[in-house]
Structure formats: structure tokens, C-alpha cells
Amino acid sequence: MSLDEFDVKNAPEIEPSKLDQEFERFYHNTMPHLTSQQAQMLMARIGTLELLDLSESEVVYGANFDMTVEVEGLIQSVRAMRSTVMTPGGTVRNDVTPREMKEVVTATSTLMTLLMKSHEKLMSFDRQRRLEQTTIEVLQRLSDGNLRDKSGEEIVAEFVTLMEQGLDE
């Protein structure tokens, strides 16, 4: 049997696109040298471009809803809006019109005012939720143990100890 007729063809070589090349250049040459502030700005800008589909990670409002995460997201939004009109040094970018600057300042001021007014309520809500969750966990742990051999004072002491441990975490 002769192999003369046998012809193996490799898949055609696909040249990387200029975008792929630019991404690789940025990833290998620039990203390792970013400061923490620059990395945060990059993350904020990626978020504002809506490049990622975050629909799967949507949180359903309920008992496990974390308001702190939402507030942090709002603060990131404010920073992202601000970075579209200002340089990291705090000066207005050259390509920004006074109207754009005014709109961003108004929007960020409104959002920050709302956050400041709501801060105390949000923190109280978060503390209350943590207290409730810890109480439930401690009562479950106590019910798993044998309480029949313990006096009321011993049960209360154990409850207080477990609550302190749970709230310190």
C-alpha cells in the first residue's frame, strides 16, 4: 500500500485579530503594572460598558438579600460616572463639556445624598438582620445539645457565650 495518495491537511491557520493581539499586549504588558486605583477604575469601566451578562448572578430579594452589596454597587457606580468626566487627579477631562460635567455632578451628588441619609437605617437594618440570624443559629445549636441536664442559668450562660461568638465573627 502506497502512501502517495495520502494527503493530510492541517486546519487553516487563523491569524489573530488586531483586537486579540491588542488584548494580549494589554494583558501581559500593562495589567501587571496597574496600581490598585487603576485596577479599580478598570473594573468600574468594564461594569459601565455592560460587557458581561450578569443576569445569572441576580440576587432575589428575600431573607438572604445583602443590602451592603447593593450599596457598594451604588458607590462603584458613582465612581464610574465620576471617572467618565474627571481624571484620577481630580481635574475635568478636556473632552467633557460643562453640561456633561454638570449632569454627572448632579447625579453623583443626588446619589451620595441619598446614601448619606440612608446610611444609619441601612447599618441598623444590617445589624438587626445579623442579630436575628445569629439568634436562630444559636437556638438551633442549643436545641441540638442535651439541655435536660443543665440549669436555667447554665443554659443562659451558654446562650450568651454562643451569641458573643456568633456576633464577633
Question: What digits encode the pLDDT tens for the residues 15-43?
Answer: 668 888 888 888 888 888 888 778 877 87
Which pLDDT band, with edges at 50, 70 and 90, does 1 fall under? low
Mean pLDDT within 137-158: 76
- Count of Cβ atoms closer than 10 Å to residue 18 Cβ: 8
- C-alpha separations of 74 from 9, 59, 81, 129, 167 in Å: 55, 15, 11, 21, 27
In 3D, which of 167, 68, 74 has the Cα closest to residue 123? Answer: 68
* Residue 86 phi, psi (nearest 5): -130, 150
CA 93 and chain centroid, separation: 27
Share the mean pLDDT of the chain.
77
Least confident of 1-10, 57-66, 128-137: 1-10
Predicted confidence at residue 75, as pLDDT, reads 83
* Least confident window among 14-18, 84-88, 106-110, 114-118: 14-18
- Express each pLDDT in 39-96 by its tens digit: 877 877 777 666 666 555 555 666 666 777 777 888 888 888 888 888 888 888 888 8
**Model-level pTM?**
0.42
